């Protein structure tokens, strides 16, 4: 009587681990084009060159690229 319960627990654990693994693994690579966050607190990161700009800036101070937000 022990084996089916153990199997059920193992299958459940495997399912949980795989779902959790997929959910967490997707986060960093969901958008490969954006390794950096486009905006942090008080700063905007230029999507083109990665330069940190003030959040009030509309264009990147380094390359002039339009900033989002």
46 interacts with Zn ion by CB under 5 A: yes
* Cα–Cα distance for residue pair 38/57, rounded to 1 Å: 13
Which residue's CB is nearer to Zn ion, number 19 or number 48?
48
Tokens for 61, please give them: 């101070």
51 interacts with Zn ion by CB under 5 A: yes
* Cα–Cα distance for residue pair 66/50, rounded to 1 Å: 12
Which residue's CB is nearer to Zn ion, number 39 or number 51?
51
- Range in contact with Zn ion (rule: CB under 5 A) among 2-10, 21-29, 30-38, 43-51: 43-51
Q: Which residues are paired to 43 by β-bridges? A: 40, 54
x-or-dash string of contact with Zn ion, 1-40, rule CB under 5 A: ----------------------------------------
Q: Residues 8, 12, 17, 22: what is their CA dihedral angle, to the nearest 10 degrees? A: 130
């Amino acid at each position: 009587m022990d084996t089916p319960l153990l199997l059920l627990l193992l299958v459940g654990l495997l399912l949980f681990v795989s779902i959790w693994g997929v959910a967490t693994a997707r986060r960093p690579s969901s958008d490969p084009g954006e390794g950096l966050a486009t905006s942090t607190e008080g700063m905007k990161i230029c999507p083109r060159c990665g330069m940190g700009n003030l959040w009030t800036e509309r264009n990147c101070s380094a390359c002039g690229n339009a900033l989002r937000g």
